[in-house]
Amino acid sequence: MKKIVILGLIGLVVSLFVVGSYYALFRYRTFPPAADQPVETLDVLYVARDVELSERGAEDPVWRHVPSKTLALAPQVTAIPWGKASVPEVTVAAFHNGERIFFRLQWRDATENRAVGRDTFTDACAVMLPLVEEPQPNTIMMGFLEGANIWTWKAVRDAQVWGRERAASPAPAERPYTDYYYPLEEREVFPIVRESVASAVEDLIARGVGTLTPRAHQRVQGRGLWRNGTWTVLLTRALATHEAEEATLPVGKARAVAFAVWDGAKGDRGARKSITGWVRLRLWPAEVPAGAAGR
C-alpha cells in the first residue's frame, strides 16, 4: 500500500514536472520569419526629351511612358519630434536625357498650403541622394552618416519663384520671409532666411540629424502644381556634378534614393514628415544592353 502511494506520488511529481516544463518552453508561439522586404526599384529610362517646369511639363506625355512607382510613406518616428501620419503614399516617376534628370512626385493633399506663418505650415517634398551610392539601410534619419544631398521643394518658395510670373500682387521677395517659425523645437534646424530665392528647390547637404545646410551653388530647379487635391512636383538637375557634396547620378548604374513629403495643413514641418525607405534608382543608358530588358 505504502509503495503504491509512493509510486503514485513519484509519478505525479514527474508528470507535473514534464507538463510544467513543456508549457514553460513551448507556450509561446513561434514566429515564422517574414519574407525579405523587397527593395523597391525605380527605373530611370533614357528619353531624348526636355520637359518644361510648367503645367504642360507636368502633363507631358513622357510621364505616361516612363516607369513610375507608388511608394509607401511612413511618418518619421525616429528623431524627435515625430511626424504624424499624414501622407500615406507618393508616386514617383523619373527619366533622364543624357544631360539632365527629371523627377515627378505626386501625392494626394486636400489643401494647397503655400504660406508660412504662426501655426501655418507649407507643403513640401524632398529627394534625398546619399553621397555614397550604396548606403547602409539604416542610415535614413539615423544621421545619414555618410552625408546626403537633399533637394527640398517647398510650396512657399515655389510661390515666391513662380508667383512672379503671375505677378499680379507685389513681388513676394519684397516681403519679409522666413521658413523657420514658432514653435521652435530643440532639434529642428532650418536653413535661415535667405535674401533671394532663385529656385523653388533648395539643394542641401546634411551629415547627421539637424545638420541641414544649404549648398553654396544651387543647381536644382523645380516647380509644384496643385490641382484637384493632388500635388505634382517636378524636380530637375544636370547629371554631371561639380562638387564633392553633389550626389552623383551615374548612368548605367543603380544608386540609393529616398523621398519625403510634408503636409503643412496637418502640421508637418521640419522633422515631422512622411518618409520612404531607401529606393534603388537605376539609371539606364541610352542603349539598353541586350538581355537587360524586362529585368
Using CB under 8 A, list all residues that contact another protein. Answer: 2-3, 6, 9-10, 13-14, 16-17, 20-21, 23-25, 27-29, 31-34, 36-37, 74-75, 77-78, 80, 82-85, 136-138, 140, 142, 276-277
How far apart CA 286 and CA 112 sit, in angstroms, is 38
How far apart CA 18 and CA 16 sit, in angstroms, is 6
Q: How far is the CB of 53 from another protein (least distance, A)?
A: 31
How far apart CA 242 and CA 71 sit, in angstroms, is 30
Cβ nearer to another protein, comparing 157 with 273:
273
Q: How far is the CB of 211 from another protein (least distance, A)?
A: 18
In order of 39, 239, 270, the CA distances from 107 in angstroms are 21, 25, 19
Cβ nearer to another protein, comparing 24 with 168:
24
Cβ nearer to another protein, comparing 119 with 174:
119
Q: How far is the CB of 1 from another protein (least distance, A)?
A: 12
Count of Cβ atoms closer than 10 Å to residue 264 Cβ: 23
Cβ nearer to another protein, comparing 30 with 196:
30
Q: How far is the CB of 27 from another protein (least distance, A)?
A: 6
Cβ nearer to another protein, comparing 14 with 288:
14
Contacts of residue 65, Cβ cutoff 8 Å, sequence gap at least 6: 47
Tell the burial category of 101 from Cβ atoms under 10 Å away from its Cβ (0-12, 13-18, 19+): buried
